[in-house]
């Protein structure tokens, strides 16, 4: 359930993409209504009328739904690895002319800490497994963190099918940054709850108007 790929179609959906529009429009309408101090007076046929102006509750929910969708989308774009965002299968990856070189680059983006210039401790065993299965190098011979990068860059030492290497990297990327993944999913869920509340409110209004 907790996989970045499950959010691919969601992040590209028209519903989520249009959320930024409501995020802008709702405050604009709220500002316009505020300019009337909450009331609009007018005279018709000699009679003075006064309307109370306020932002509909459904619009307020729509604003918050759009806000939560935007936050979820921002987290997805910032924390989801490129291999997940760009490809749904090995055939998609290969169709762009990519090779083991690009697979190894995607792997490094997950397992290598650029700031510390070393392998991320939580991915040490994962990287050893990849080295042992998809290169002719024995991971036990790599003594220092700096030994790993040349091992991945040395394509002459590659072994195994590229498709298997791709899915190895794809699967570990799919659950990378797990806390951010959960946060993104939570914001999507809250956003949809807001939309559900709008739908329930509208259905309730229609039913009441019928009786």
Reduced to 3 states, what is the DSSP secondary structure of residue 119? strand
DSSP readout, 16-85? HHTHHHHHHHHHHHHHHHHTTTTEEEEEETTEEEEEE----HHHHHHHHHHHHHHHHHHHHHHHS-HHHH
Task: Report the C-alpha gap between 196 and 194 in whole angstroms.
Answer: 5
* pLDDT 10s digits, 28-73: 777 776 666 656 566 666 676 665 555 566 778 888 898 999 999 9
Cα 58 from chain centroid (whole Å): 25
Question: Tokens 């699967």 appear where?
Answer: 171
- Given pLDDT bands bounded at 50, 70 and 90, which one contains residue 80? very high
| pLDDT given for residue 63 in this prediction | 86
What residues pair up with 52 in beta bridges, in sequence order? 39
- Given pLDDT bands bounded at 50, 70 and 90, which one contains residue 10? confident
Q: How many helices (H) and strands (E) does the chain have?
A: 11, 4
What residues pair up with 158 in beta bridges, in sequence order? 135
| pLDDT given for residue 185 in this prediction | 94
- Given pLDDT bands bounded at 50, 70 and 90, which one contains residue 193? very high
* pLDDT 10s digits, 107-141: 999 999 988 888 999 999 999 999 999 999 998 88
Q: Which residue has the higher pLDDT, 65 or 18?
A: 65
Q: What pTM did the predictor assign?
A: 0.79
196: DSSP letter: H
Give percent of the chain with pLDDT exceeding 70. 85
Q: Do 72 and 185 form a contact (C-beta atoms < 8 A)?
A: yes
């Amino acid at each position: 359930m907790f996989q970045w790929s499950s959010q691919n179609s969601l992040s590209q959906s028209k519903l989520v993409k249009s959320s930024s529009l409501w995020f802008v429009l709702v405050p604009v309408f709220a500002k316009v209504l505020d300019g009337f101090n909450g009331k609009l007076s007018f005279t018709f046929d000699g009679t003075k009328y006064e309307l109370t102006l306020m932002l509909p509750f459904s619009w307020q929910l729509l604003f918050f739904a759009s806000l939560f969708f935007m936050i979820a989308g921002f987290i997805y774009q910032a924390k989801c690895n490129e291999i997940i965002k760009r490809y749904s299968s090995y055939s998609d990856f290969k169709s762009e002319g990519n090779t083991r070189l690009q697979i190894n680059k995607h792997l490094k983006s997950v397992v290598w800490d650029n700031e510390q210039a070393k392998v991320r401790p939580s991915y040490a065993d994962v990287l050893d497994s990849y080295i042992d299965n998809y290169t002719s190098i024995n991971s036990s011979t790599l003594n220092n963190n700096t030994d790993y990068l040349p091992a991945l860059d040395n394509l002459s030492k590659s072994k195994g099918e590229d498709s298997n290497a791709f899915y190895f990297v794809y699967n570990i990327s799919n659950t990378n940054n797990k806390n951010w993944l959960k946060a993104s999913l939570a914001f999507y869920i809250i956003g949809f709850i807001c939309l559900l509340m709008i739908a329930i409110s509208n259905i309730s209004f229609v039913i009441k108007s019928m009786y």
